[in-house]
Structure 1
Amino acid sequence: MTIIPAIDLKDGQVVRLTKGDINSSKVYGEALFFAKEFEKMGAEWIHIVDLNGAFIGEPKNLDEIIKIRKSCNLKIELGGGIRDEDTIKKYIDIGINRVILGSVAIKNLDFTFKMIDKYPIVLGIDAKNGKVSTDGWANISQVDAVSFARQFRGSKLEAIICTDILHDGMLDGININFSESIAKESGINTIASGGFSSIIEIDKVFKNSIINGIIVGKAFYEGKVNLEEIFKKYT
């Protein structure tokens, strides 16, 4: 199981949102500082989201992302506002290890499958009440999240990151059942996200053979968990 610290970027700063509401953002500091800290603690991967990009549909924190890439040996998965092949290629060319597609996957499935065949792609399935959200979680579609995940069975997709929006930033626990359903139906490596609150949850996920990773965000920034101890125990 892979434990992946999260860096959400807004205007060049690390922030965390509550239930994806951009107006709820709380600033924690410089992204590069936290990336270096995560590397020191023992992380292998970091999960970066360009929040500005997610809301407007194009990259907006490129300079900060390049700084992190040049200064750390961490593997990076990156999402937020990625809607075309030129952007995917740009990120791969600067050394991003895998690119997360979310909104565009709902809007253009054919394009998504083409990109999966050409690049290291992760699918972000963010859902509210079981329905997939788009555009930085500003809009909720009528697409069932689990049924959507099923369409990628047998593809070259690297992983699926599944987030229950109602739990995100709430520190009330990840929706494990939702993550399990995505994993079972897709047959793809699945990373659970949204609401992680304690090391007890990592124990549950660690013992779960079908969930392959967990994203840790607000629980770290609010001092609820000691990531260094977690990495020592589980990696």
Structure 2
Amino acid sequence: MFPTFEVIPAVDMQDGEVVQLVQGEKGTETTYGDPVDAAQKWIEGGAETLHLVDLDGAFEGERKNATAVDAILDAVDVEVQLGGGIRTVTDAIDLLSRGVDRVILGTAAIENPDIVAEISESFPGSVMVSLDAKDGEVLVSGWTESTGLDPAEAATRYEDLGAGAILFTDVDVEGQMKGVQTDPVRQVAESVEIPVVASGGVASVDDVRTLRDVGASAVVVGSALYRGEFSLSDAKRALD
């Protein structure tokens, strides 16, 4: 998993279309068309992994963009990580059997930490636990509820339960295109041995380099890529 640092394009889906939200809030979305078209665009641009999120699933607790996800899985031949509305072991196992490489668990892992170990028994390394933090506390339910958990402490716990990676999203800067905060990412990365994938605030290739330098194994990028602030090839050249 992530043998070298990667820039991973986000394909966030709402009502069957690709969208980008500001700080995860409904009503702030900018729409970018068909999910399969977006996925293929990023692969043509050099993406080796895709980050898929069913936003309706994240907010409502059940996957609403399954048809779009299936269409992407049929159309692409790169690694895929998927989150949003995955609440049970059965859901996760079905998706992993279908061809998803990593399932991203947020609310489900917080409410039932043992789900990470249960899934990992059948598919070792396949669970990416999503720790989305605002003001230093982990959020759940589509970023609408605070848990009071410290992200670094939570990351250590999930590593012990068998998580293959941590997805750390800095909600304080997510979607704002104003740059990244380094301390929260560094703290999580230093707390575990498994890969930490950073997300939130990336506006330039300098931000990408910064996150790599503070310990992230990969970075998920949404708005900056969709708005053309830089390309995947720009990022690769800068990292090289």
TM-score normalised by the chain length of structure 2: 0.92
Aligned to 1:197: 203
What's the offset of the Cα at 1:7?
0.6
In structure 2, what is the Cα distance between the partners aligned to 1:140 and 1:231?
36
Encode CA deviations 1:21-69: one digit per residue, 9 max, x unaligned. 0121111111111100111111100101000001111111111111111
2:162 maps to 1:163: no
Kindly indicate whether the alpha-carbon contact (under 8 Å) linking 2:209 and 2:239 is maintained by their aligned counterparts in 1: no
In structure 1, what is the Cα distance between the partners aligned to 2:24 and 2:143?
6
1:226 to 220, 231, 235: 231
In structure 1, what is the Cα distance between the partners aligned to 2:234 and 2:154?
36
Kindly indicate whether the alpha-carbon contact (under 8 Å) linking 1:126 and 1:132 is maintained by their aligned counterparts in 2: yes
Aligned to 1:143: 149
Task: Give the percent of matched residue pairs that are identical in Structure 1 and Structure 2.
Answer: 31
Letter paired with 2:209: D
Kindly indicate whether the alpha-carbon contact (under 8 Å) linking 2:57 and 2:64 is maintained by their aligned counterparts in 1: yes
Aligned to 1:62: 66
Aligned to 1:118: 122
In structure 2, what is the Cα distance between the partners aligned to 1:176 and 1:155?
26
What's the offset of the Cα at 1:155?
4.6
What's the offset of the Cα at 1:88?
0.6
What's the offset of the Cα at 1:130?
1.0
Letter paired with 2:22: T
What's the offset of the Cα at 1:145?
1.6
Encode CA deviations 1:105-162: one digit per residue, 9 max, x unaligned. 1111122222233321101100111111111111111122221112134453221110
Kindly indicate whether the alpha-carbon contact (under 8 Å) linking 2:205 and 2:234 is maintained by their aligned counterparts in 1: no
What's the offset of the Cα at 1:75?
0.8
Letter paired with 2:96: I
Letter paired with 1:177: D
Distance change (3 Å), C-alpha of 1:184 and 1:117: farther
Kindly indicate whether the alpha-carbon contact (under 8 Å) linking 2:185 and 2:211 is maintained by their aligned counterparts in 1: no
Kindly indicate whether the alpha-carbon contact (under 8 Å) linking 2:199 and 2:219 is maintained by their aligned counterparts in 1: yes
1:152 to 155, 158, 167: 158
2:177 maps to 1:177: no
Letter paired with 2:230: V
Kindly indicate whether the alpha-carbon contact (under 8 Å) linking 1:149 and 1:185 is maintained by their aligned counterparts in 2: yes
Structure 2: runs of 5 or more not aligned: none
In structure 1, what is the Cα distance between the partners aligned to 2:23 and 2:211?
22
In structure 2, what is the Cα distance between the partners aligned to 1:25 and 1:194?
15
Letter paired with 1:32: V
Aligned to 1:31: 35
Letter paired with 2:56: N
Report how many aligned residue pairs link the two structures.
234
TM-score normalised by the chain length of structure 1: 0.94
